[in-house]
């Protein structure tokens, strides 16, 4: 995914420099560059921009006041030659503040901050998981990790992430919803038994008072919502 950006600066060389930095950065996409903030209003308010690089001192409209006026505020990185604006910039929730003359290293650090924020806020989609009948590929820590279905013991929801617990291997964390991963798993081998848990049915050896025991130490609860479905499976295959 690329982040759609615009650059605003009344100085031609300054706006060209930021535009060049955007084009140089693989995860950024330059949508437009402007010398006046007024020209960017429609583009921003129509949600066509995710990141705004904007100068503060401009003759037609102060960059700080412009950002405060926006209906749909994108992520903002201020660019300016005046360090005294830094504190005020963060008061309007700017991600970063770049002091001119701006070098690419500083620019990239600011852009990476925005990327990390977007990655955290964006809900993962079904594209985050690739499944076959035998294994999954999931995104974890900016890597694609292959997981054999037979190695999964249970899956646990942890806020925006899920934790895939495995046999003889460190658990894998990935940012995806329980619903999405549930839909990708074969229903004859995996079952949701709780809002926060999916279990590998083939790994169940002990059931104790509506709880599934794994590794003699982990108790996975079976909630009332899923109790009947789970009991039907137990009656058919365990009794």
- pLDDT tens readout for residues 130-139: 778 899 988 8
Q: Who contacts 76 (Cβ-Cβ below 8 Å, separation ≥6)?
A: 51, 52, 54, 67, 92, 93, 94, 95
pLDDT in tens, 53-93: 999 988 878 888 898 888 778 999 999 887 765 545 555 67
213-229: burial string, b at 16+ Cβ within 10 Å, e else: ebeeeeebebeeebeee
Q: Is the pTM of this model over 0.75?
A: no
Distance from C-alpha of 98 to C-alpha of 83, rounded to nearest angstrom: 9
pLDDT average, residue stretch 131-156: 88
Distance from C-alpha of 164 to C-alpha of 181, rounded to nearest angstrom: 10
Query: E strand or H helix at 87, and its extent?
Result: helix 86-91
- Statement: residue 36 has pLDDT above 60: yes
Q: Report the SS3 class of residue 157.
A: strand
DSSP tally for the chain: helices H, then strands E: 7, 16
Distance from C-alpha of 74 to C-alpha of 3, rounded to nearest angstrom: 11
- Statement: residue 35 has pLDDT above 50: yes
- Statement: residue 7 has pLDDT above 70: yes
For 3-121, give the CATH class: alpha beta
Question: How far is C-alpha 90 from the geometric centre of its chain's CA atoms?
Answer: 22
Distance from C-alpha of 98 to C-alpha of 60, rounded to nearest angstrom: 21
pLDDT in tens, 103-119: 999 999 999 989 887 77
Strands (E), 108-168: 129-131, 135-140, 143-148, 152-158, 161-166
**Region of 78 on the Ramachandran plot (φ > 0 left; ψ -120 to 50 alpha; else beta):** beta
Distance from C-alpha of 48 to C-alpha of 214, rounded to nearest angstrom: 48
Pairing status of strand 75-80 against strand 51-55: parallel
**Selection from 45, 119, 114 nearest residue 75 by Cα:** 114
What residues does each domain of the chain span? 3-121, 126-237
For 126-237, give the CATH class: mainly beta
């Amino acid at each position: 995914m690329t982040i759609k950006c615009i650059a605003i600066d009344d100085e031609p060389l300054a706006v060209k420099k930021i535009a060049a930095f955007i084009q140089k950065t693989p995860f950024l996409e330059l949508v437009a560059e402007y010398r006046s903030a007024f020209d960017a209003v429609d583009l921003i308010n129509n949600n066509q921009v995710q990141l705004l690089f904007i100068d503060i001192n401009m003759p037609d409209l102060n960059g700080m006041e412009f950002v405060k006026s926006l209906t749909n505020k994108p992520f903002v990185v201020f660019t300016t030659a005046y360090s005294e604006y830094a504190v005020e910039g963060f008061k309007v929730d700017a991600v970063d503040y770049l002091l001119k003359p701006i070098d690419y290293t500083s620019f990239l650090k600011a852009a990476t901050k925005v990327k990390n924020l977007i990655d955290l806020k964006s809900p993962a989609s079904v594209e985050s998981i690739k499944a076959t009948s035998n294994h999954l590929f999931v995104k974890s820590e900016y890597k694609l990790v292959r997981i054999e279905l037979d190695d999964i013991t249970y899956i646990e929801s942890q806020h925006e992430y899920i934790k895939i617990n495995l046999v003889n291997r460190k658990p894998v964390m990935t940012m995806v919803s329980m619903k999405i991963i549930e839909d990708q798993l074969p229903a004859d081998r995996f079952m949701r038994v709780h809002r926060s848990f999916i279990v590998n049915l083939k790994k169940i050896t002990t059931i104790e008072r509506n709880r599934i025991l794994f590794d003699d130490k982990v108790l996975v609860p079976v909630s009332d919502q899923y109790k009947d479905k789970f009991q039907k499976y137990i009656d058919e295959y365990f009794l």
